[in-house]
Structure formats: C-alpha cells, structure tokens
Structure 1
Amino acid sequence: MNDALVGVGVRTVTLGGLPLLVAAVPSGGAGGVLLDHVADRGLVVLPGVTGVELPRGARLGFVVDRTALRLVDEQDATLLRAPREGLDATWLDAALRLRGTMTVLGRDVEVDAELDVATLVARLDAAAGDGRVLGAIVGLLEERPTLPLFL
C-alpha cells in the first residue's frame, strides 16, 4: 500500500460519547485498492450506519503519535494518515479511553467539516443503502515518546 493516499477526507466526531472516524474514499485507482485492502482485513459492507452494530476483529489498527493518526495493517504498512491537529479533541479523548473507534469508510461520500453530525450520518446511511460503506470497530493506541536509556 502507498504510504500517503491522496484524496481521502477524514472526519472524527463523537456520537453519544462514542468515537466515530469517517473516511471518504474516492472510487477507482488508489481508493479502490484501499477499500479492497481494508475489506480483506475485516471491514465489512454495512447495510446502514444508524442502529447498526459494527463488527469487531478487524486486522487493522490506528496509531496516534504527537504528529499524526495512522491506520496500519498487520505488516505495519500505513494505509491512511491524518494530522493530529485536525482530529476532534473529544473524539481523541473517547478513542484513547476506549482504545478504539467505530470506523467507517465511504466510497464517494462527502465528509466536509461544515456538515453537522446528523447530516453526515444521514449521508453515510444513504451511501450504505447503495453498498458504498465499509465499517468495523478498529483498535487505537497512542505511541508515547520514551527517553533514551544510557548504560
């Protein structure tokens, strides 16, 4: 997988105190490769987003450090990257507390920051009805810098 996938929009929000990460992935090209890759690792096509329990056990994970949030696979290949300063602080607190986040990738879905959460979820539900949304619960860990050990 490419270390930097251009054209993917990422939005982080909380729903009822629970973290939700939404990625808008363009169809075709690198976007299609990404969707196939995450589907092979446990994200499933969702019939909807509202009221749907997302599956667990995806073989992917999020890693957040001081500069970025990365979605990585079992070989530690970076599939998505988002700058940490662009993450919603409430989302990050909830995701760190729960050590995971609801993760939804929508093919050709708008996730503009100006959209209110209800409109965003409505768009995801509509896209899911067309079979264009994949999702799962994905774990998250925070890499903390450590001091070097001198002997």
Structure 2
Amino acid sequence: MTNPDPMSPTEREQLGALRLQLMALLRRLRRESDSGDLPLSKLMLLAALLRLGGTASPTELGTAEGLRSSNVAALLRELEKEGMVRREADAGDRRRLHVVITDAGAEAVLANRSRREAWMAEAVEACLSAEERAQLIAVGTLLQRLAEYQAPSGG
C-alpha cells in the first residue's frame, strides 16, 4: 500500500526537528528518573516485566527490551540480589525459569513512574495553555501509532 500523500522536503526537515525535540524530552524524563535509587537499565527491565503481566522468561524480557541474553542475565542477578525479582521454575517444564517481579520491584517502578509523571504534569501546566495541553494529549495517540509501526517485510 502506497501513501497517496507523499512527504515534502520541508516536512522531512520538520520531522528531523521533531525527532530532536522528542529526544530532548526523553533525556529530560531520564534525568527525572535518575533521582531514584535504581539505574535506568534495571528500571526498564522491571517495567518490561510489569508490562508482560509480572512474570516472563528471561528470553521474553530480552526481546521486549532489545537486550542480549548476557545483559539480561546480569541485570536479573542484580535485581534478584536486591529483592526486586525472584526466579521460579515453570510449572509445565521444571527446566525453564520464569522471572517474577516482587512487590518491592513493582513499587520501585511505580514510584519512578509517579515521579516522572509528576514532573511532566508540572511542566505541562506551567508551559502550555489549555488548548495546547489538549493538542499534546491528542498527539500521544499518533506517537503510539508511530512507535508500533513495523515496516513491511520483503518489499
């Protein structure tokens, strides 16, 4: 399926500017995240575990976060020592392990999320008009569609 409305060179330049703006916002959100006790890499793995329903295999976690199995294993060892996750044998196949987020792990993710959302709410209220806030919320749906885009294969 081809796009009936091709992008102009000016729009491409504007998209480049938008990418830089989004990256600046992501860096700021990371800085807000850094004020917590856990490094971002651990928080991301814990958040992925929450998104996956609180339990997942190490392979599923690596796939969800785009991490190599060795990196996932190292992070999980540290998170297990810190009481943020525990490993359990699969009920159907005792050789397989599942990682389960603990209450402490879930609380760490939720506290971090709350801190970043509080900063964002404060910034939005301070910087944007009511109309701009509504526009920003509407843009969220478009950003989600872009984040979920998969290029067609074989074409």
Query: With structure 2 as the length reference, what TM-score do the two structures score?
Result: 0.29
Q: Which has the higher strand share?
A: 1
Structure of larger gyration radius: 2
Query: With structure 1 as the length reference, what TM-score do the two structures score?
Result: 0.29
